[in-house]
């Protein structure tokens, strides 16, 4: 057998004070934890909805940008079509002027033919008068 020396400076181990467990506080704590869990799940649901709404907003912004690009493209097309319409109006105006000038040319050609005939007739008349003058001069 071994002999242990005994120390006379023995300090007893501190004991934990026993807290009376009150069931009322436990029930309140349980109720508060349940309420907290309910609020946490509600917050998570709202966060999911917010994420979904942000994603939907992102898609809507993309659609809006595409629509704005399409509107810009259509406005450019409209401007091009208006320019083409103006060009067509000018071409139509030129056609009308061309037709008018063609009619004037035709009229002037007819007058020219008439004047050529009159000139030929006048030349023939003048030759006849010269011939008569020559005959009179000989007589």
Query: What are the boundaries of each domain within the chain?
Result: 33-138
Quick check: 102 pLDDT over 90?
A: yes
Whole-angstrom Cα distance, residue 66 to residue 28?
Answer: 56
Question: Which residue has tokens 């071994």?
Answer: 2
Q: What pLDDT shows up at residue 22?
A: 79
72-82 mean pLDDT: 96
pTM score of the predicted model: 0.50
> What is the SS3 assignment for 32-88?
HHHHHHHHHHHHHHHHHHHHHHHHHHHHHHHHHHHHHHHHHHHHHHHHHHHHHHHHH
Whole-angstrom Cα distance, residue 67 to residue 84?
Answer: 25
Which position has the higher pLDDT, 15 or 98? Answer: 98
24-65 per-position pLDDT tens digit:
888 899 999 999 999 999 999 999 999 999 999 999 999 999
């Amino acid at each position: 057998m071994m002999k242990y020396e005994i120390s006379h400076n023995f300090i007893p181990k501190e004991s934990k004070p026993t807290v009376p467990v009150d069931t009322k506080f436990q029930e309140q704590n349980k109720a508060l934890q349940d309420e907290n869990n309910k609020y946490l799940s509600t917050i998570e649901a709202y966060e999911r909805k917010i994420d979904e709404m942000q994603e939907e907003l992102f898609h809507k912004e993309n659609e809006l940008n595409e629509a704005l690009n399409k509107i810009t493209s259509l406005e450019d097309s409209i401007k091009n079509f208006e320019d083409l319409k103006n060009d067509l109006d000018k071409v139509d105006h030129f056609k009308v002027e061309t037709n008018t000038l063609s009619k004037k040319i035709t009229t002037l050609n007819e007058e020219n033919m008439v004047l050529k005939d009159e000139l030929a007739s006048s030349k023939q008349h003048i030759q006849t008068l010269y011939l008569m003058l020559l005959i009179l001069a000989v007589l």
